[in-house]
Structure 1
Amino acid sequence: MTAPSDIDHGWAGSRRLLRLLRDLMKAGGSSQERLDRVVDLIAQHIVAEVCSIYAMRSGEVLELFASKGLKPAAVHMTRLKVNEGLVGLIAAQARPVALADAQGHPNFAYRPETGEEVYHSLMGVPIMRSGRVLGVLVVQNRTQRSYDEEEVEALETVAMVLAELLAGDRLLERTAGSGGGESELMPARLTGITLNQGIAIGVAVPHHRGIVISQVVAENPEAERQRLDAAMSEMRDALDAMLARQEVAVAGEHREVLETYRMFADDRGWRRRMHDAVRGGLTAEASVQKVQNETRARMASIKDPYLRARLADLEDLGNRLLHHLLGLDEKRREDLPEDMVLIANDLGPAELLDYDQNRLRAVVLEQGAPTSHVAIVARALQIPMIGRCEGIATQAGEGDPVIVDGESGQVLLRPSASVRSGFQESIANKKRQQAAYRAVRDLPSVTQDGQSVALLINAGLMIDLTHLGDAGAEGIGLYRTEVPFMIRDSFPGVETQADIYRRILEHAGDKPVVFRTLDVGGDKLLPYWRGSHEDNPAMGWRAIRIGLDRPALLRQQLRALLRAAVGQELYVKFPMISSVAEFSAARALLQREMDRETALGGALPKAVRVGTMMEVPALALQLHQLLPLCDFLSLGSNDLLQFLFAADRSNPRLARRYDPLSSAMLTLVRDIARQCEAQSVPFTVCGEMAGDPLEAMALLGCGVRRLSMTPSAVGPVKTMVRSLDVQALGDAINQFLTLPDHSIREPLRSYAIERNIAI
C-alpha cells in the first residue's frame, strides 16, 4: 500500500475517485455488493487500512453497513446510538472528526466484534442530504496519522457524492425508514406555538422541490463555472421580479425582510465557496449542495435563535439556485390541492411566496419562531402558521387531512369525521361572528348604562397597523418597540429608529400611539447583544434595568421618538418599573433629550405624555408617590400575574394554577383603578386579560375603562361592552371578591349568561 506521503498533492478533490465512484454505483450487482466495492475503492485512494459506512436506522441507530478492514462478521451486527462512540458523535453533531489517537478520545466506544483495537487514527464525516444525516463515512489507520484539512474536506466531498448516489439507489432510504406500520395512519394531535393566528382545514403538502442531482462529477470545470454564474444571474433577476409583486411591494418589516434576503444572493463568500467546489471537480449543482451541507454543519452548533433562523434563508437561497441550474419550474405545480396545508421543517421568506396564495390555507413548521422572517411574511399575507411542531414533517404524509388551529397552537392529523365536522362548524361560526363584529366596528364602545370604554390595540410590527382601522380601535395602547430591533442583525441608529416611529405615526393618523421603550432581556433576546446567562431571566436584567444601566441605548431611542413626533403628541411609557426612583430616573433621561434637541435648534412634539407599565407588584404600594409624576398608567396583566403569584407563566405545570380572575388579582386591579381615578390619571390594561371578553368584563367591573388588546379581540370585546350594564356589574364584582374561592370565573360566567351579556 502506498504511504500517505507518496500521494500526489494528497488526495483532496480527486476527480478520478469521484468518477470511479459514479461508475461503480451504476454498475450491476446488489446494493450490498456495490457498497462493499465502494468502501474498498475509497480505502485504496485514501490509503487507509479501514473504510466503513454506517447507515442511520429507525430509532436513531447507526448500523455498520459495509466495511473494508473491519471483521466481516461485524457488518450489520455492530450498532451505535446517535452520540454513542465517535461515529455517534459525528452523526449527532453533523460535523467531521479527525483524530490521530482515536482511542484516547472520551467518546471512543470499543466494539470487540469489529477488531478495530489495532487501528489508532480515525477520520469520519457525516453522510448528509437535504439537511438530514443518512449515515457516517469513516476511515481508520493503524498508525497515529494526523489528517489535514484537505483530507477532511476531500472525505466530505466523497460523502456528499455518496449521499446523492445512495439516495438515487434508495438504499439508505430503505434502511432508515420510520418503521411503517398501520399506527402511522391513525389520527394524531401535535402541538406547537402560534406564529400567526387563524384556523384552517386542508390536506397536507410536504414542502420539497423535487431536486435530484444526477451528475456530481464535472467533465469541464470551466463550463460548470459558467453555468453556475449564469444561474446566479438568473436567480437574482427572478428575486427582483418577486420583490416587485403587488402583495409584497408595500412598505413594512416583511418588505425589509425580503430585501435583506435578496442581499444574500450577492454574498461574495457564498459564491467563492461554490467556485472552489467546482474547481475541486464537482458539477455546479453538486457544488451548491456541498456548500449547503457545510453551512448546515457550521450553523448546527450555534445556539443563538436568531442566527439559527437565518439558516432557513440560506437553505431557501441554495434550493432556489439549484432550481435554476437544473431548469426546474419555479412556479408551484398546478396539481396542488385547492385547500393545501404546507408542511416543512423550515422555510425561507421567499419560499413561501412560491406557493399559490389562493390555495394555501396554512403552514406548519418543525422549527420557526415568532420573529423568523417567514413568520413576518406570513403575517403580512394573513396565512395561519404554527411553528416548533415537533414531528410534523415525518408524521404528515402527502394528502393527509389536516386541521390547523392557530388559536391554540395545535395541529390535528387525519382527524375523524366528527372532529372535522366540529371544526367546520367552528369555522362557520367564526365567520358569522366576524360578520357580526364588522357590523359593530363603527359603533361606539359604550355600555348599556352609558359608560364609554376605550378599546385600543397592541402592535409590534408595521403590518399590525393595517388592523387599526379594520378593528375599529381608537388607537394603539401598546407599541412594542423591541420587535423591529429583534428582526435586524445590528442595533438600528437614531435616524433608522426615527424613520420607523415616523411611519408608525403616519399610519395611525390622528389616533394616539403609546410607545413602550425597549423591553429586551428575559425571553426577548437581541441577536447582536450577548448578555450573560441568568437562572431567572424574567426577573433579571431586562427592560428599564438595561435602559438605566446602559443609558446611551435608552437615550438614542428617546431621541428618535422625539424626532419622529415633531409637531404631534408623543406618548412614551417605561417597562418593568419597580420603584418611583426608577421612573424618575427614566423621565429625567427623556427631559435631558428634550433639552438637547432644543439646544441644537431642533423642534419638539407639541406635547409629551410620559407613563409607566405596572408589572411589578412593589410599584402598586407606591402609587400615592407615583401618580402625581406620571401622565398615564398601563397595567401589564401577563407579567403582573406571574410576579404576584411567583408563578412562571411559561411553566406548563403552573399555566392554569393561578387564574387572572382570582380575588387577589382583581382586588389589586380594583385598588389601582380607584387610585388612578382619584388622581385623574388614565389607566389602561394591556395583556391577555384585556382581550378575553369574560376577563375584560371583570376588569370593567373593577373600574377599568381603557383596554388594549390584539386586533382580533376588539370585535368580541366591543360586543360584550355594548351588552353590559357596568354599574350593576361593579356591585356584583364587589360581592364575588368576598368569596374564598380560587377564582370568581364561574360565578362571573353565570352572571353573564343570566343577563345575556355577550362573552
Structure 2
Amino acid sequence: MRELTAGPRILLKRLRALMAEALEPQERLDHIVREIAQNMVAEVCSFYVLRSDEILELYATEGLNPQAVHLAQLRLGQGLVGTIAATARPLNLTDAQSHPAFTYLPETGEEVYNSFLGVPVLRAGRTMGVLVVQNRTKRAYREDELEALETTAMVLAEMVASGNLTRLARPGVELTNGRSVSFNGHAYNEGVGLGHVVLHEPRIVVTNLFNEDIEHEISRLDEAMGFLRLSIDDMLSRRDVAMEGEHRDVLEAYRMFAHDRGWMRRLEEAIRNGLTAEAAVEKVQSDTRARMMHLSDPYMRERLSDFDDLANRLMRQLMGYDPKSAAEMMAKDSIIVARSMGAAELLDYPRERVRGLVLEDGATTSHVVIVARAMGIPVVGQAKGVVALAENNDAIIIDGEDGRVHLRPQTDVEAAYAEKVRFRAKRQALYRELRDKPAVTKDGKSIALLMNGGLIVDLPQLKESGADGVGLFRTELQFMVASTFPRSGQQEKLYRAVLEAAGDKPVTFRTLDIGGDKVLPYFRSNAHEENPAMGWRAIRLALDRPGLMRTQLRALLKAAGGRELRIMLPMVTEVAEVRATREIIEREVNYLTRFDYQPPCNLKIGAMIEVPSLLWQLDELMNEVDFASVGSNDLFQFIMAVDRGNAQIADRFDQLSPAFLRVLLQIAEAGKRHNKPVTLCGEMAGKPLTAMMLIGLGFRSISMSAAAIGPVKNMLLSLDAAALNAILAELVHRPDANGSIRENLVRFANEQQIPL
C-alpha cells in the first residue's frame, strides 16, 4: 500500500514547493501541469477553469498545443471535460474517443490520445474546473493515480477561489466568482432574507486511509459513535424547536438511523479490511451513495441526505473537527447555501444568526424544509447552480415568497429588497389589523377565506392568519415524511390534533393523494408508468387497495367522534367512485358504532373537481356529494394540456384565459344550482388578482396558503363583486374572446382603487 502512495506524496511535496515560489499565475500553472504529467508518466496534462458563463476554458496544458491555452473552450456538459464538470464525477477511460460524450477540439491536437483520466476541481462541493491526464496507449489508470489527481485538484481549486487567476481572464470574462447572478427556484417557506452566504460544507477529506491497529480503530469508532448519538439527543432537547409536530418525527427517525446496527456492522467490516475508522465511514458512505444515486423518488433522496449527514458528522468527530467554533464565527445575517441537507444539520447553526436557507435540491416535504418551517426560516429550493457560483461571505438575498435568489446583488436590487422588507413589515402589520375583520366585499358578499395545510406545524397559522378554517388538509404529507406506513393510531392522533387545533373552525381532510410524483417507498407499484400524473394515484389507488383506504377512514372517523368531519376525495373521474367510497365509509361507521365508538356528529363527503371528465357529470356529482372543491392547478393542467413542470410551456398559457374561466364559471353555477358549496383550492386562490376574478365568477369560498389570506382579504374589502360579475359575464362569453383578460382585470382594479 505504501508503495502505491509514494508517488502522490512526492507530487504533493513538489506542488507545495511550487506554491511557495514567487511565480506569476500562468507560470505557476504551467509548472503544475508539467509536474503532474511527469509524476504520472502522462503525455498530456490539462487544466480547464469553469467561467461564470458556464464555459470551460483551457488555462494550462502540457502535451497539447500550447497555442490553445485560453482559446480552447467547452460548454458545461459538452465533451468529456464538460461532462465531468456537469456531474462532478471523475472519468477513467481506456479509449476516450469511443465514449459518446467525446468532442474533438482541432486547436488542441488531442485526437491521437486514447487513455483519459479526468477529475472535477471541487471546492466545498462546487465545481471550479477540470483536471485531465492523457496517454496515447490504451491503459486504465490506477486508483492511486486517481487519488493523486483528485488531491492535486484541491490545490488548483484554492488557486481559483483565491482570485489569483483573475488576471489571466480575457477582458469581459469572469471566473465563477464575482458577478451578480439570480436564480429562479421554488418558494418552500415564506419570508425575505438579506445577508451573507454560509456554504454548508459537510464533507471532510480523509487523507489517513490505512490502519495499523484494527482494535484501536474500532475503539475510536465506538467512541465517536457514542458521541454522535449523544449530540443527536442534545439536538432533540433544544428549546428552539417545538416539541410537537412532524419535524419531531423526522428527528426521532434520524436518531433511530444513528442506532442502526447494520451501519455499524459495515463500518467494522471495513476497518477489519484494513481501513482507518474515518476511511471506513467514507467508504461505506460512498458505497451507499453509489447504490442509491439512481433512485429518483423523493423519499429515498431524503434517506440519502440523512445518511450523508450522519456519516459526515461521524467523520468530523473522528478527525477532531469542531462545528461549534465554525458556527460561532458566522455572521449575524447568515444565509445557508447547500446542495442538500439532513434535517438535523440545520440545528447545528445558531438560530439567531440564520436569516434563510437556499437548497439546490429539496421539496416542500424535505425533512430539512419541515424543520426550517418549524423554526420560521425562509427557504428557497431547486435553486440549480447556486452552490457552484456562491462563495462564503458573498452578499445574498433570498425571497421565500416568489422563490428567487440573488447572489452578489447589484446595489439597486439590494436597495429594492431592503425597501421590500420594510414594506413587508408594514404590510404584515396591516394584515394583522384585518385578521379578525369579517371577509365581506363592499357590496355585502361574505367570502370564506380558508387555508391549506398538511402538517401540524401549519396549524398555528390558522389563528395568526385569521382563516375561516382549513379548506384543504393534505393527509399524504404524514405518509411522505414517515419511514414506514403510519399505523391507524398514528393517523388518528394527527387528525385529532388537527381538529383540536382548529377548534370550532371547519377542516376538510383530503384522503390520500399518493402515486404520480408522490412515491412512498414502502408502498410501491411494480408497473412502470409513462405518465404517472394521469396514472394509478389518489382515489384510483385507494379503491384498488381498500385496506389502505379503510385504515385512513377509520382513523378519521375515530378522531372526529362528536365533531363535524369533512372528507374530500382527490382526482375523482366518475361519480361511481364517490358512491363506492360512500359505501366503504358507511361500513366503517357501522363497524365503529358496533364497538361503541362515538361517530362524527355531522359527516360530509365531497369531491375534488380536477379531472375534466367531471365537467360533463356536474349535475350527477352535485346530487352525490355534500360539497365540492376545485383543484385549479391540476384542472388547468389537464384542460390545457400544460405540464406545469415544463419550463418551455409552463408560462405559455394563462389561467385567466376565457376558455378556462368558462370552465370555472360552469362549476360555480352548478354548485349554486344544486345549493352545494364549492371551494376553489390552488394557486389562483392565493393571488389577489385571480382571487378577485374567482369572486367575480361567483365563488364564495377559496382556500390558499396562510400567508396569502391577508393580501386577499385586503383586496376583497374594497371589491364590488356584483360590478365585477357584470364585467366578467361579458368578457368570458364574448365571441371573439381569446388570450387573457388579465389586462381588463388590472384596469378594473385600478379604476376601483382595489389593492392588488
Following the alignment from structure 1 to structure 2, what is the Cα–Cα distance between the partners of residues 422 and 92?
Answer: 36
Out of 223, 231, 236, the residue aligned to residue 224 of structure 2 is 231
Out of 149, 152, 156, the residue aligned to residue 166 of structure 1 is 152
Deviation per residue, 1:447-485 (Å, 9 max, x gap): 233332211101122211121110111210101111222
Q: What secondary structure is seen at the aligned counterpart in 1 of 2:633?
A: helix
Following the alignment from structure 2 to structure 1, what is the Cα–Cα distance between the partners of residues 162 and 3?
Answer: 33
1:527 maps to what in 2? 521
1:311 maps to what in 2? 304
Q: Say whether residues 1:250 and 2:236 are aligned partners.
A: no
Following the alignment from structure 1 to structure 2, what is the Cα–Cα distance between the partners of residues 397 and 288?
Answer: 28
Following the alignment from structure 2 to structure 1, what is the Cα–Cα distance between the partners of residues 319 and 397?
Answer: 35
2:346 maps to what in 1? 352
- Asked if the contact 1:57/1:177 (under 8 Å) is kept, the reply is no
Following the alignment from structure 2 to structure 1, what is the Cα–Cα distance between the partners of residues 355 and 690?
Answer: 31
Distance 1:447 1:162, change over 3 A: same
- Asked if the contact 1:55/1:175 (under 8 Å) is kept, the reply is no
Q: C-alpha displacement at 1:433, in angstroms?
A: 0.9
Out of 669, 686, 700, the residue aligned to residue 691 of structure 1 is 686
Q: C-alpha displacement at 1:176, in angstroms?
A: 11
Q: C-alpha displacement at 1:124, in angstroms?
A: 11
Q: C-alpha displacement at 1:98, in angstroms?
A: 11
Q: Say whether residues 1:639 and 2:631 are aligned partners.
A: no
Out of 487, 497, 501, the residue aligned to residue 507 of structure 1 is 501
Distance 1:699 1:474, change over 3 A: same
Provide the TM-score with structure 2 as the length reference.
Answer: 0.83
- Asked if the contact 1:127/1:137 (under 8 Å) is kept, the reply is no
Out of 740, 745, 748, the residue aligned to residue 748 of structure 1 is 745
Q: What secondary structure is seen at the aligned counterpart in 2 of 1:758?
A: coil
Deviation per residue, 1:401-453 (Å, 9 max, x gap): 21222222221222222222112212211111110000011122222333322
1:368 maps to what in 2? 362
- Asked if the contact 1:94/1:297 (under 8 Å) is kept, the reply is no
Q: C-alpha displacement at 1:83, in angstroms?
A: 9.4
Following the alignment from structure 1 to structure 2, what is the Cα–Cα distance between the partners of residues 547 and 756?
Answer: 48
Following the alignment from structure 1 to structure 2, what is the Cα–Cα distance between the partners of residues 468 and 697?
Answer: 22
Following the alignment from structure 1 to structure 2, what is the Cα–Cα distance between the partners of residues 650 and 94?
Answer: 27
Out of 428, 436, 440, the residue aligned to residue 434 of structure 1 is 428
Following the alignment from structure 1 to structure 2, what is the Cα–Cα distance between the partners of residues 256 and 140?
Answer: 57
Q: What secondary structure is seen at the aligned counterpart in 2 of 1:750?
A: helix
Question: What one-letter code is carried by the residue in structure 1 that aligns with 2:232?
Answer: L
Following the alignment from structure 1 to structure 2, what is the Cα–Cα distance between the partners of residues 17 and 698?
Answer: 72
- Asked if the contact 1:125/1:137 (under 8 Å) is kept, the reply is no
Following the alignment from structure 2 to structure 1, what is the Cα–Cα distance between the partners of residues 425 and 532?
Answer: 40
Q: C-alpha displacement at 1:51, in angstroms?
A: 12
Following the alignment from structure 1 to structure 2, what is the Cα–Cα distance between the partners of residues 606 and 644?
Answer: 38
Q: C-alpha displacement at 1:591, in angstroms?
A: 1.7
Q: What secondary structure is seen at the aligned counterpart in 2 of 1:694?
A: helix
State the Cα RMSD in Å: 4.0
Q: C-alpha displacement at 1:656, in angstroms?
A: 3.7
Q: What secondary structure is seen at the aligned counterpart in 1 of 2:409?
A: coil
Distance 1:583 1:75, change over 3 A: same
Out of 375, 389, 408, the residue aligned to residue 414 of structure 1 is 408
- Asked if the contact 2:566/2:603 (under 8 Å) is kept, the reply is yes
Distance 1:32 1:229, change over 3 A: farther
Aligned residues with identical type, % of pairs: 42
Question: What one-letter code is carried by the residue in structure 2 that aligns with 1:346?
Answer: S
Question: What one-letter code is carried by the residue in structure 1 that aligns with 2:429?
Answer: A
Q: C-alpha displacement at 1:327, in angstroms?
A: 2.5
Q: Say whether residues 1:735 and 2:721 are aligned partners.
A: no
Question: What one-letter code is carried by the residue in structure 2 that aligns with 1:623?
Answer: L
1:387 maps to what in 2? 381
Q: What secondary structure is seen at the aligned counterpart in 1 of 2:679?
A: strand
Q: C-alpha displacement at 1:225, in angstroms?
A: 2.4
Question: What one-letter code is carried by the residue in structure 1 that aligns with 2:728?
Answer: I
1:378 maps to what in 2? 372
Bigger shift: residues 200-209 or 216-225: 216-225
- Asked if the contact 1:616/1:640 (under 8 Å) is kept, the reply is yes
1:472 maps to what in 2? 466
- Asked if the contact 1:54/1:62 (under 8 Å) is kept, the reply is no
Q: C-alpha displacement at 1:710, in angstroms?
A: 0.5
Bigger shift: residues 438-447 or 749-758: 749-758
Distance 1:163 1:353, change over 3 A: farther
Q: Say whether residues 1:710 and 2:698 are aligned partners.
A: no
Distance 1:24 1:403, change over 3 A: closer
Following the alignment from structure 2 to structure 1, what is the Cα–Cα distance between the partners of residues 669 and 221?
Answer: 70
Equivalence map 1:198-209=2 (5 Å) = 198-208=191-201
Out of 615, 625, 641, the residue aligned to residue 620 of structure 1 is 615
- Asked if the contact 1:456/1:477 (under 8 Å) is kept, the reply is yes
Q: C-alpha displacement at 1:569, in angstroms?
A: 1.5
Bigger shift: residues 15-24 or 612-621: 15-24
Q: C-alpha displacement at 1:565, in angstroms?
A: 1.7
Distance 1:167 1:87, change over 3 A: closer
Following the alignment from structure 2 to structure 1, what is the Cα–Cα distance between the partners of residues 40 and 46?
Answer: 11
1:597 maps to what in 2? 592
Following the alignment from structure 1 to structure 2, what is the Cα–Cα distance between the partners of residues 273 and 55?
Answer: 37
Question: What one-letter code is carried by the residue in structure 1 that aligns with 2:507?
Answer: V
Q: What secondary structure is seen at the aligned counterpart in 1 of 2:484?
A: coil
1:193 maps to what in 2? 186
1:3 maps to what in 2? none
Following the alignment from structure 1 to structure 2, what is the Cα–Cα distance between the partners of residues 160 and 509?
Answer: 63
Q: Say whether residues 1:550 and 2:550 are aligned partners.
A: no
Distance 1:751 1:592, change over 3 A: same
Bigger shift: residues 376-385 or 638-647: 638-647
- Asked if the contact 1:80/1:87 (under 8 Å) is kept, the reply is no
- Asked if the contact 2:455/2:478 (under 8 Å) is kept, the reply is yes
Following the alignment from structure 1 to structure 2, what is the Cα–Cα distance between the partners of residues 604 and 140?
Answer: 80
Bigger shift: residues 271-280 or 584-593: 271-280
1:573 maps to what in 2? 568
Following the alignment from structure 1 to structure 2, what is the Cα–Cα distance between the partners of residues 650 and 167?
Answer: 37
- Asked if the contact 1:316/1:351 (under 8 Å) is kept, the reply is yes
1:329 maps to what in 2? 322
Provide the TM-score with structure 1 as the length reference.
Answer: 0.83
- Asked if the contact 1:128/1:159 (under 8 Å) is kept, the reply is no
Q: C-alpha displacement at 1:610, in angstroms?
A: 0.5
1:457 maps to what in 2? 451
Q: What secondary structure is seen at the aligned counterpart in 1 of 2:182?
A: strand
Following the alignment from structure 1 to structure 2, what is the Cα–Cα distance between the partners of residues 402 and 631?
Answer: 49
Question: What one-letter code is carried by the residue in structure 2 that aligns with 1:312?
Answer: S
Bigger shift: residues 621-630 or 665-674: 665-674
Following the alignment from structure 1 to structure 2, what is the Cα–Cα distance between the partners of residues 688 and 132?
Answer: 34
Out of 493, 511, 529, the residue aligned to residue 487 of structure 2 is 493
- Asked if the contact 1:56/1:176 (under 8 Å) is kept, the reply is no
- Asked if the contact 1:18/1:217 (under 8 Å) is kept, the reply is no
2:477 maps to what in 1? 483
Question: What one-letter code is carried by the residue in structure 2 that aligns with 1:746?
Answer: E
Deviation per residue, 1:90-129 (Å, 9 max, x gap): 9969589899xx8999779899989988x9xx99999999
- Asked if the contact 1:15/1:281 (under 8 Å) is kept, the reply is no
Q: What secondary structure is seen at the aligned counterpart in 2 of 1:189?
A: strand
Q: C-alpha displacement at 1:587, in angstroms?
A: 1.7
Distance 1:658 1:61, change over 3 A: closer
Question: What one-letter code is carried by the residue in structure 2 that aligns with 1:756?
Answer: Q
Following the alignment from structure 2 to structure 1, what is the Cα–Cα distance between the partners of residues 559 and 516?
Answer: 28
Question: What one-letter code is carried by the residue in structure 2 that aligns with 1:191?
Answer: N
Question: What one-letter code is carried by the residue in structure 2 that aligns with 1:275?
Answer: E
- Asked if the contact 1:90/1:124 (under 8 Å) is kept, the reply is no
Q: What secondary structure is seen at the aligned counterpart in 1 of 2:473?
A: strand
Bigger shift: residues 551-560 or 644-653: 644-653
Following the alignment from structure 1 to structure 2, what is the Cα–Cα distance between the partners of residues 726 and 626?
Answer: 27
Following the alignment from structure 2 to structure 1, what is the Cα–Cα distance between the partners of residues 487 and 709?
Answer: 34
